[in-house]
A and B are shown apart, each in its own frame.
Chain A
Amino acid sequence: MTPLSIALNLALSFAGLAALCLSMDRHHRAIAGRGQSRTRARGLRLAGWAVIAVSFAAAILTSDWNFGPVQWIGSLTGAALLVVALVSYRPAWIRPAALLALPLALAAVLLA
């Protein structure tokens, strides 16, 4: 349960939830100013869930079955709050922030 493993969880949760948020038409319109194709929405949704699943695996691998689930859910909540805040107040930031989160997650893996 090192700070790095939680940072990894937070970054992955944020990227995954941001993708899920972008896959929803209402939010996509608010963020990008236009609609999106069905295929793209489905792709984003799949990617979002996949990253969240990876985050769960990372939590279990770094913090075992005892603390892993606690850490995974906690970081999902924290990241979701950040996504909602960005969508409501700075919608333009969400895509760059999500793209930045992925290399940050990678950096956490390499440092750990």
Chain B
Amino acid sequence: MVDGSASLDRVRARQGWRYRAAVAGRVVLAAFGGYALAALATAFLSLTLPMVRSEAVATATLLSFAILAGAVIWVFAARTLLRAAIGLGIPMALVGVGLWVALGLVAAGPPA
């Protein structure tokens, strides 16, 4: 808990740039990676959820911030930065491909 963190912080401060770089890496990954995943998921769900498009957009946008929060928690909970990146990258790739397919279907227009 918060109690012991002061002395631990001091120990950690001595670990130098390696630790700082790892923290900075996670912050960047959480902010940009997390947002990218949430944005892709919002666009994907807006096109694919089985409801009227206004309803799909409202649902996807409502969910997007939970997805973003979950992604950030994951990035800081993962044991290493690499694991965090992989854990974020795989869903991002899946949703990205799904979005690409969905966009192609939308461009082709609904079946007559």
- Classify A-B as touching or not with yes or no (CB < 8 A): no
- Contact surface of B with A, Cβ cutoff 8 Å: none
